């Protein structure tokens, strides 16, 4: 299309014709329903969640067919598997994936995630035992948020990379958990720290699904609305994607980063409650694996390691994909090392894929 | 050393700006005006103090001492909130936009259209962004305002950034090395935009070390050398050769150029 098309009034800024740098291309902009769907797909793709979603759905279909074909040897669709594995482990992991993912979008990492989960869970159990679980929930949320905010402060004040700051603080909080609690795992006991209401809220078994799945849906919806639809969420993308540009437009990167750390901490504190209620007892120092698994979920779900790119749906699918692969391998009675082997491969392939996407997405 | 005549009809006036980082003085007693609807070239070699000056003008970095006046009014403390209110917009080299965000979200970044709870009105933002791309600036090859900025070329991205500034009625545009990453054609287009912006009543400061680009469009040139302003001259009173001498050899270069040049 050329300059001569459908305009009554020219644009304010037009490059000289001979440069060829201008041409009116507006015709392509508006399309029908299909064009809009195409646009939306492209948008999701740009956020790195399209391909992983397709892979995840393909995997679910494959597992379901396998399960229907041989329900006894591969009971993927059994109530036991759906309830105990899928709707228990996927949500815990999914919420941690959202937490790590939001922080990654802001351009930061928190490697003390696992230690934070452990410390917050211990605070939850001990506070619940002493004062009731209402106070326990409050204490766990405050602890999780506080630990993460402290990390955030260290990062924005000293400007050392969050990778190192939170690595160190992770060790600190593992030690602190044992310092505060001792090495004996604290436990929730019936009539003191726990009762049927608490279990119904955070680990209730409702046949094919459990409370954790409901929490994942609620938190996922809230996180999506915040990150993708709220102006503060938009600022997280801006700061993570290009801090200088965000600053130039008068977004305060320090505030945005602290806010991201706080949201991260709140979600981690909440997950520690889910884990503590599900298992009734948390041994200090046993939650460290969560850190890299949560980051892996975010990476698999399309979050950029450099910040500024990611989607809540991708983070959840990333977590779910890793968990479902694990589940499938366990159901197929594959030896344990297969799980690490496959999960490791998924993460590396996803990271390479993301790298390629960063250059090419449109 | 000549100084362009100053009037009271300026947009931005800085007087005696000094900036120290610890023991290190990067700007020494720099004064100049930016007129209304004027394109000013800020020239100098690497390390001349251009970037620091840009940061001070845009309020990102505080000055150690000096005065900052805008349209006749003097401001004691200058920060980004003030310059944002005054209408200063800085387009940093290669980094005016966020690559992972759509054109529409980039245009409204930090100035989102929201409801009372702060949730963005995405559809409205997309529509206005499309309108901006239609009416403010024409850019070849942009299909939709929802396209991610990472899919744009350097020239397209610069044009979007300029369109954003125009849309939000910015009155002073500071472009930090805008042409360094651009192809020839895109550079031509960008320089043309700057000239057209004058017609919209927008002043701009073009920071560059490409003298030919600056000479093409700027009404006035300010040359920095080792933290000092060594030349402030109208286009009709200078030449690319004199500017080259100033940038490369500093004040001494200007003096020798003028002595050696028969009038």
Interchain CB distance below 8 Å, A238 and B138 = no
Residues B90-124: tens digit of each pLDDT: 887 666 788 888 899 999 998 899 999 999 998 99
Measure in Å the smallest separation between the Cα of A46 and chain B Cα atoms.
7
Residues of B in contact with A235 (CB under 8 A): 109-110
The conformational region for residue A127 under phi > 0 = left, psi -120 to 50 = alpha, else beta, is alpha
Interchain CB distance below 8 Å, A13 and B96 = no
Residues B232, B15: Cα–Cα separation, whole Å? 14
Residues B25-58: tens digit of each pLDDT: 899 999 999 998 899 999 988 888 888 899 899 8
Whose CA is closest to B15, among B65, B58, B67?
Answer: B67
Query: Do B140 and B185 meet the contact criterion of CB atoms below 8 Å apart?
Result: no
Residues of B in contact with A304 (CB under 8 A): 100
Query: Residue A6's pLDDT is what?
Result: 41
Measure in Å the smallest separation between the Cα of B29 and chain A Cα atoms.
25
Residue A43 vs residue A95, higher pLDDT: A95
Residues of A in contact with B185 (CB under 8 A): 19-21
Q: What is the average pLDDT value for chain A, to the nearest integer?
A: 86
| Cβ partners under 8 Å of residue A356, min gap 6 | none
Interchain CB distance below 8 Å, A248 and B58 = yes
Distances (CA, A) of A347 to A301, A323, A351, B130, B133: 10, 12, 6, 38, 39
Query: Residue B104's pLDDT is what?
Result: 92
Residue A26 pLDDT grade (very low, low, confident, very high; cuts 50, 70, 90): very low
Measure in Å the smallest separation between the Cα of A316 and chain B Cα atoms.
20
Residue A24 vs residue A59, higher pLDDT: A59
Which of B60, B119, B138 is the closest to A229 by Cβ?
B119
Torsion of CA B66, B71, B77, B79, to 10 degrees: -110
Mean pLDDT throughout A115-128?
96
Residues of B in contact with A259 (CB under 8 A): none
Mean pLDDT throughout A337-355?
84
Enter the tokens of residue B106: 């980039």
Residues of B in contact with A229 (CB under 8 A): 119-120, 122
Query: Residue A17's pLDDT is what?
Result: 42
Residue A110 pLDDT grade (very low, low, confident, very high; cuts 50, 70, 90): very high
Measure in Å the smallest separation between the Cα of A74 and chain B Cα atoms.
41
Complex ipTM over 0.95: no
Query: Residue A269's pLDDT is what?
Result: 97
Query: Do B55 and B171 meet the contact criterion of CB atoms below 8 Å apart?
Result: no
Query: Residue B92's pLDDT is what?
Result: 75
- Lowest mean pLDDT segment, chosen from A167-176, A348-357, B101-110, B117-126: A348-357
A137 has a pLDDT exceeding 90: yes
Query: Residue A22's pLDDT is what?
Result: 38
Mean pLDDT throughout A210-231?
95
Residue A167 pLDDT grade (very low, low, confident, very high; cuts 50, 70, 90): very high
Residue A342 vs residue B4, higher pLDDT: A342
Query: Residue A46's pLDDT is what?
Result: 59
Alpha helices in chain A (DSSP H): 33-46, 50-69, 79-80, 87-105, 113-131, 133-158, 162-181, 196-203, 211-224, 231-241, 243-248, 253-279, 289-300, 312-331, 336-360
- Lowest mean pLDDT segment, chosen from A259-263, A309-313, B148-152, B176-180: B176-180
Residue of B nearest to A40 (CA): B146
A–B interface: beta-carbon pairs under 8 A? 166
Residue B241 CA neighbour count, 13 Å, CB half = 6
Residues of B in contact with A47 (CB under 8 A): 100
The model's pTM:
0.84
Residue A336 vs residue B206, higher pLDDT: B206
Which 8-state DSSP code applies to residue A155? H
Residues A56-86: tens digit of each pLDDT: 999 999 999 999 998 888 889 888 888 877 8
Alpha helices in chain B (DSSP H): 50-57, 80-86, 103-107, 122-135, 154-167, 184-199, 211-217, 240-249, 251-260
């Amino acid at each position: 299309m050329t300059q001569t098309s459908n305009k009554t009034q020219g644009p304010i800024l037009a490059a000289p014709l001979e440069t060829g740098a201008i041409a009116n291309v507006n015709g392509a902009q508006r399309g029908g329903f299909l064009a809009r769907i195409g646009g939306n797909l492209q948008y999701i793709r740009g956020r790195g969640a399209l391909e992983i979603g397709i892979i995840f759905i393909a995997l679910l279909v494959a597992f379901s067919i396998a399960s229907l074909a041989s329900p006894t040897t591969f009971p993927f669709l059994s109530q036991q598997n759906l309830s105990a594995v899928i709707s228990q482990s996927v949500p815990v992991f999914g919420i941690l994936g959202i937490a790590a993912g939001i922080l990654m979008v802001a351009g930061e990492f928190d490697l003390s995630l696992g230690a934070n989960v452990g410390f917050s869970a211990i605070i939850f159990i001990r506070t619940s035992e002493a004062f009731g679980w209402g106070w326990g929930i409050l204490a766990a949320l405050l602890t999780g948020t506080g630990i993460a905010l402290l990390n955030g402060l260290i990062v924005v004040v000293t400007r050392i990379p969050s990778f190192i700051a939170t690595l160190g603080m992770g060790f600190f909080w593992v030690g602190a958990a044992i310092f505060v609690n001792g090495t004996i795992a604290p436990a929730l006991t019936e009539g003191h720290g726990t009762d049927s209401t608490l279990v119904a809220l955070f680990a209730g078994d409702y046949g094919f699904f459990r409370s954790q799945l409901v929490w994942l849906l609620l938190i996922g919806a809230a996180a999506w609305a915040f990150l993708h639809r709220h102006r503060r969420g938009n600022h997280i993308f801006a700061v993570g994607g290009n801090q200088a540009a965000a600053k130039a437009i008068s977004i305060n990167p320090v505030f945005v980063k602290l806010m991201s750390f706080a949201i991260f901490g709140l979600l981690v504190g909440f997950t520690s409650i889910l884990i503590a209620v599900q298992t009734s007892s948390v041994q200090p120092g046993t939650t460290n694996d969560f850190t890299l698994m949560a980051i892996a979920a975010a990476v698999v779900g399309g979050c950029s390691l450099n910040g500024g790119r990611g989607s809540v749906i991708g983070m959840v699918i990333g977590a779910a994909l890793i968990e479902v692969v694990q589940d499938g391998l366990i159901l197929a009675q594959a030896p344990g090392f297969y799980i690490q082997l496959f999960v490791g491969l998924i993460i590396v392939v996803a990271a390479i894929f993301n790298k390629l996407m960063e250059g090419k997405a449109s | 050393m000549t100084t362009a005549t100053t009037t009271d009809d300026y947009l931005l006036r800085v007087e005696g700006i000094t900036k120290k980082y610890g023991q290190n003085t990067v700007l020494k007693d720099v004064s100049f005006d930016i007129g209304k609807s004027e394109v000013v070239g800020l020239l100098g070699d690497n390390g001349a103090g251009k970037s620091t000056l840009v940061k001070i003008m845009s309020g990102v970095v505080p000055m150690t001492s000096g005065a900052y006046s805008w349209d006749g009014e003097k401001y004691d403390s200058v920060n980004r909130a003030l310059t944002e209110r005054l209408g200063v917009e800085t387009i940093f080299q290669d980094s005016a936009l966020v690559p992972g965000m759509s054109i529409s979200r980039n245009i409204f970044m930090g100035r989102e259209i929201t409801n009372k709870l702060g949730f963005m009105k995405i559809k409205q933002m997309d529509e206005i962004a499309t309108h901006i791309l239609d009416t403010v600036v024409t850019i070849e090859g942009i299909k939709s305002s929802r396209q991610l900025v990472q899919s744009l070329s350097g020239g397209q991205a610069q044009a979007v950034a300029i369109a954003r500034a125009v849309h939000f009625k910015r009155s002073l545009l500071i472009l930090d090395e805008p042409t360094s990453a651009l192809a020839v054609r895109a550079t031509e287009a960008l320089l043309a935009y700057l000239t057209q912006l004058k017609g919209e009543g927008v002043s701009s400061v073009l920071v560059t070390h490409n003298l030919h680009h600056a000479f093409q469009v700027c009404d006035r040139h300010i040359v920095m050398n080792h933290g000092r302003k060594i030349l402030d001259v109208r286009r009709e009173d200078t030449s690319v050769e004199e500017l080259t001498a100033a940038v490369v050899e500093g004040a001494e270069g200007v003096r020798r150029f003028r002595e050696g040049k028969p009038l």
